[in-house]
A = this chain, B = another copy of it.
Amino acid sequence: MGASTKQGYDIATKSREIIRELIGDDIKDLKPAEKDIVERIVHSTADPEYAKLVAISDDFVDAALKSMKNNETILTDINMVKAGITQYDGEVCCYIKNDEVKQIAKENEITRAAAAIRYACQNDFEGIIVSGNAPTAVWEAMDLYNKGELNVKAIVGVPVGFVGAADSKEELRKSNIPNIITQGPKGGTPIAVACVNSLIQTLRGI
């Protein structure tokens, strides 16, 4: 789980054992790759509640792995999420600081996170969207997808916050887009990153 030295590996192994004790029951019906994702989320937050909050659509893992196998783009809502995604062979993008994105946000009175999705859509984006922060990014992605304009293969939708986050995730869960979400206000960067890095590890193990 990201370890690269003997001491690091020992810590990761012991941590994995503790996590399996804590959440084994909650995840016993999941597929192996899904179990890995949830275990890694709990590892990166030390918060076993996530085993109860994570919901994964049946088609999510296959859709995400297929996209990643083709080295399609991973688009993140904020740079913190981008910084955490390591060892991906394709491109990991974040447009939140892009000048055109700032302009789109200003002109349309939308958040920069939403504007960044719109910008990606206008620039031939194809791949996976990962939102660890902004519900408005998830809303925008669903809106563009429903209009048939956004070529998104899967969404990691785990934005965090007391305002709008839970609703956006519930709506994503009901959509036809392969998705992983966390129910309720909780979520965030480490959850998003843990999910993607777990998938990368699964992909490399194939």
Do residues B46 and A5 form an inter-chain contact, with CB atoms below 8 A? Answer: no
Is there an interface contact between A189 and B190, defined as CB atoms closer than 8 Å?
A: yes
Interface centre among A78, A112, A186, A189 (most CB of B within 10 A): A189
What's the minimum C-beta distance from A104 to chain B, rounded to whole angstroms? 10
**Which residues from chain B contact A162 at a C-beta distance below 8 Å?**
14-15, 18-19, 43, 46
Q: Report the separation of the CA atoms of residues A162 and B42 in the bound assembly, to the nearest whole angstrom.
A: 10
State the copy count for this chain.
Answer: 2
CB distance from A98 to the nearest CB of B (A): 13
Interface assignment of A84: CB less than 8 Å from any CB of chain B: yes
Among the interface residues A43, A44, A163, A164, which one has the most CB atoms of the partner chain B within 10 A? A163
- A188 CB-CB contact with B under 8 Å: yes
- Closest residue of chain B to A1 (Cβ to Cβ) is B161
Residue of B nearest to A115 (CB): B5
Please indicate the chain B residues that have their CB under 8 angstroms from the CB of A188 in the complex. 44-46, 190
Across the interface, do A161 and B43 meet the contact criterion of CB distance under 8 Å?
yes
Q: Which of A45, A82, A185, A187 has the most CB of B within 10 A?
A: A45
Chain A residues in the interface with B (C-beta under 8 A): 3-8, 11, 14-15, 18-19, 43-47, 78-80, 82-84, 105-106, 109-112, 136, 160-165, 184-190, 193
